[in-house]
Structure 1
């Protein structure tokens, strides 16, 4: 059964339609990455799901309970952090946890949440002294109160140092293993790729693609990535041999079509190009996303 089900969601701000028939679902214990460019509609989708803004048409259900302006009961199963956590400067982190606890989380469970989110060291300090990373950790701790079955996290890795980001990844995977469903957006695609079971790509308020992580990445072509002493010299040699190559982040890349690797090596050796490293790999999440968005934007221009 889907923990979260969004069906044909439409949203307007005045006369402007910002969401167009958005549909997706998350099974229990799975992590879904909501990705797309700024202004694509990701935060609007999240705000609509948690009832911060109403929708025009469509339906939302959480744990098989409908959610709309007349039925908010389903939200008791949801922990949410959208945008920067709103904290009270003169309250400590521990004060916040007690404030937002609705009486169903015991002192022992609050202690465990503090350990899981690693806020124990600063939990007794006032929030006005918190860094952005500290605020993010406390915000996530608050979402875990009251035993949520669904977490909705908008850019939770913002402001975290590498160790804290690693710890958050581990925490989210641990929560998913306990059966908690997670909807998460992030611009840190490399980090998202380490935890997400599936993705929904949003552009111009529409779903461009929804797919399991493995299908999303494997559906793209493989690339040959070549590191050389002189990328421009290598590119010239490959193009002179009839190969469709380009430079990306100081690497020369070309599609891994039949015979392409052998032809590329022959061309580079013949041109006396010093080869430092060669990799053949599927396109990563960033490359797959950019390709999808480019194709979708071209469709929009034709319209």
Structure 2
């Protein structure tokens, strides 16, 4: 079978497409013939050796897939060959087939497309866990909704946070780097918009929320936006540390959480899914219910064949992706 391979840590252009042996099912695992695989920011980190996990060489990037079950291992009963499924793999998804743990493999609902199924887990799974378990975002009653600021709001997890924040009853402020990206955020439910390349983030937030501040900050960006966002928090607010797409980990003045009585909260959805699988499965079921009701529709930026995987990752690194990019097989 064909697979995109990382043979040594490096940039996307160092990846190759080669023929490799198809994986075989072992107890508690499932072999999936991949139809679509999400492209996510962690994929750009894992091939450069900058992620929390370092697979043995050679490996394929790609942590969320949708496809057809080819084979199941001993002890697997909830899926069978021929079933349409989506799964978390961590890596290995940029290939024609992948081995997945059975407990991280889920049946696709009827009429769901593979591209949709491969767009749910990382972005919506991360954002829902962040807003539900970590921020405990509270829906307001007629006029007293909590305020949610989403940085990098047009990216994969950012746009998911905009959608879910609105569904959960928040007043959503989307912050992004271009008017084009903000227009997409508006389509997905943002109440207020901030172009932080044309106006300082803190100044615009003062116009929108005054001295009260923002109840929840969702930050997958880091970098220079982190401090003005933290300075703009409300008393008792929650600052969600989701990632560092800007490339730098900010050093924050920790007198600010003290003065504002706010919390800086880490969001590591992958560890949550491992440590609290029942809670994660409940989240997945609730996300599927949102989809079935037509409330959750992933925005597909572009699809790429295996041979163009490097282009997909470079587009991710260049912040050209709005919503979700996918490898299709």
Tell me which interval the TM-score lies in, with the shorter structure as reference length.
under 0.3
- Higher-Rg structure is 1
The TM-score, its normalising length taken from structure 2, stands at 0.26
- Higher RCO, 1 vs 2 (CA within 8 Å, ≥6 residues apart): 1
Q: What TM-score does the superposition give when structure 1 sets the normalisation length?
A: 0.27
